[in-house]
A and B are shown apart, each in its own frame.
Chain A
Amino acid sequence: DGGITQSPKYLFRKEGQNVTLSCEQNLNHDAMYWYRQDPGQGLRLIYYSQIVNDFQKGDIAEGYSVSREKKESFPLTVTSAQKNPTAFYLCASSIRVRQYNEQFFGPGTRLTVL
């Protein structure tokens, strides 16, 4: 089955730790995205990538880092510099970054800082 997978589903982090969230897609999509969702709020873009080995900051990139070494994979690292990391993290992909591009989402990772 084609789709987007994220792991883990739940993640607990101690303050001061870096953690990495996994995102994999087998849809052969060029573009991948990371969003953060807080309760009662819309999705906010953290980073996006249009092609392998290239990525761009979104609206709230501070405290996060990404890599895009393979087309299928776009991991997100939440660093200790992110002051309020507890949130629902969603990875998405689209065929390419262009007009009329629908984005398809993975099931998300719920991160809690203890």
Chain B
Amino acid sequence: RKEVEQDPGPFNVPEGATVAFNCTYSNSASQSFFWYRQDCRKEPKLLMSVYSSGNEDGRFTAQLNRASQYISLLIRDSKLSDSATYLCVVSGTGGFKTIFGAGTRLFVKA
């Protein structure tokens, strides 16, 4: 089992749609969780950190379920500019080991 697994893509959605990505992790001692966005042939950029209580940033909502060891990202009212690959990132114990998921590709169409 991979340490971090994400929904296989790609997701093809129309503008205005709501789309959800899920990510599961295997190390129950993981401490930090993030979603990054990566545009084609560019570097990953931090989208948001994920907290136990859940957090929201505009159209983006992230949730963490420690009992089930999964993280989710919800994008509401999708825009063409949301088209990218979304990476789930988990940091383990000891403050260092960071694992990147393979990413889920999103295409938002007009």
Contact = CB atoms under 8 A, between A and B. Distances in A.
B95 A99 contact: yes
A111 B17 CA distance: 37
Contact of B32 (A48, A99, A106, A110): A99
B4 A42 contact: yes
Contacts of A2: none
Contacts of A100: 31-32, 49, 91
Interface residues of A, number: 22
A76 interface: no
B102 A102 contact: no
Given A41-B102, A42-B103, A48-B96, A102 B43 contact: no
A48 B32 CA distance: 18
B96 A97 contact: yes
A102 B96 contact: no
Interface in A56-104: 88, 90, 97-104
Main secondary structure of the interface of B (DSSP, over half): strand
A101 B100 contact: no
B53 to A, nearest CB: 15
B32 A105 contact: no
Main secondary structure of the interface of A (DSSP, over half): loop
Interface in B74-109: 87, 91, 95-96, 98-103
Contact of A108 (B43, B46, B91, B98): B43
A99 B91 contact: yes
Contacts of A108: 42-43
A30 to B, nearest CB: 12
A90 B102 CA distance: 15
Given A97-B95, A99-B95, A100-B31, A90 B44 contact: yes
Interface of B: 4, 31-32, 34, 41-46, 49, 87, 91, 95-96, 98-103
